Amino acid sequence: MKRVLIIGAGSAIAEHYARLMAARGGNLFLVARSQERLDTIAADLAQRTGGRVATHVMDVNDLDAHETMLDSAWSASGGIDTALIAHGTLPDQATCEGDVALALSEFSTNGTSTIALMARLAQRLQAQGSGTLAVVSSVAGDRGRASNYLYGSAKAAVSAYASGLRQRLHGSGINVLTIKPGFVDTPMTRDFRKGALWASPQRVAAGIAKAIDGGRAVVYLPGFWWPIMTIIKHIPEFVFRRIKL
């Protein structure tokens, strides 16, 4: 029976991933900043499968609270087989350009807090000798673009950290998975105009489960984002700076 820790369990992608794991009979430990949201998700999961679901309220930016949360997760489950870090915000780029304090706060939520959690989880999984550490980054981290470079820079930091951590832990029995979704139709993107490149959170959650099962290192979701971002990454800078993306 899988023991699954989901941080940022209130997000649409994480909720659908939790449903998939509950359907497999997993023991779930869900972390989010809203007790009300956690209660709603836990009640839904219990009704669907009758599986064991524990919850913990935490603000990821309270770095001192991370260890207490992890202590609770390990105590409740007797260890963790899969840890998924899925929290995040989608800041308004223009607003961040005019407010440095806000920009740094958003970077902390999307970058610093995630890296802190990855470092602490890596220590625990190493001591345990097994497990998967999966983190939701973004295609936005592959190259800074004028439309969202504050968000993209935070995700680039997460992806680079995950890459180094994956290399360090190779051969230890621990896999580090970097998840790079493209556009996902969630409450966080409700005001965006949708098109052919948009995916449902259910599709992305299924892709995460498949990537974890397969021991993947990096996964673009949906998969068509890999060739798209490969092209974007290789556009010469003297051309790229003139493009509006």
As a whole number of angstroms, the distance between CA 172 and CA 169 comes to 5
Contacts (Cβ under 8 Å, ≥6 apart) of 139: 180, 181, 182, 220, 225, 228, 229
Name the maximum alpha-carbon separation found in the chain. 57
Please give the structure tokens belonging to residue 211: 């990537």
Instruction: Give me 178's structure tokens.
Output: 């970097």
Question: Residue 159 region, left (φ>0) first, then alpha (ψ -120 to 50), else beta?
Answer: alpha
Task: State the catalytic residue, choosing from 17, 149, 151, 220.
Answer: 151
- Is-catalytic flag, 151? yes
Active site residues per annotation: 151
